[in-house]
Amino acid sequence: MTIYTVHAPPPKADDIALDPERFEFIRDGFGFWAFVFAPLWMLWRRLWLVLLFYVAIVAVLEGALWFIRATPTTRGAVVLLISLLVGFEAATLRRWKLQRKGWRQLGVVAGDNYEAAERRFFDTWVAHMPGAQAPVAPPTNSPNMSPNMRVPQDTSDIIGLFPEPQSRQ
């Protein structure tokens, strides 16, 4: 099961309610692409401030390693460890960016994949919304319905999923 955090953007001036189309689901876990291509991943995700810190930290560490005449293997290991740290903290960096922009975390949800987690979150979210209404009642008999499509008026004799054509006496 994969864990996702769900975030909602700050409401716009004319918004009455939250817009579920704009919710952001962030997968928690190791970010492979953030590990392999850290600066490019930061550019792709528009993490400008994080990229600035990353470049500054790598430059300072490379300068310090050059100053102490570290071997190329040591310098490569340090860069690898920094990339590993970025890979492990990729989701946290994205959440930090959203928090800085005023987004708020709505919850945490688990699912086998993104779609299952999204479905699970919205099922729970709709059920707990204030003012949520019960499901719509089935349609009543109307003159436009064919006789085969009529909804039985007295459903007290129905047992199971499929009612019998005649009621029991």
Query: Token pair for residue 39?
Result: 């600066």
Average the pLDDT over each of 17-26, 95-104, 141-150 and give the range with the smallest value: 141-150
- Assess contact for 4 and 110: CB atoms under 8 A: yes
Confidence bin at 18 (pLDDT 50/70/90): confident
More confident residue, 88 or 151: 88
More confident residue, 156 or 109: 109
First to last CA, the chain: 51
Three-state DSSP at 73 gives helix
Confidence bin at 134 (pLDDT 50/70/90): very low
Residue 136 falls inside a structural domain: no
Residue 68 falls inside a structural domain: yes
Q: What's the predicted TM-score (pTM) here?
A: 0.69
User: Which residue range forms the structural domain that includes residue 32?
Assistant: 2-8+23-127
Number of residues that make up the chain: 169
Total domains, the chain: 1
Residue 78 falls inside a structural domain: yes
Q: Please state at what angle helix 72-88 crosses helix 90-100, rounded to 10 degrees.
A: 60
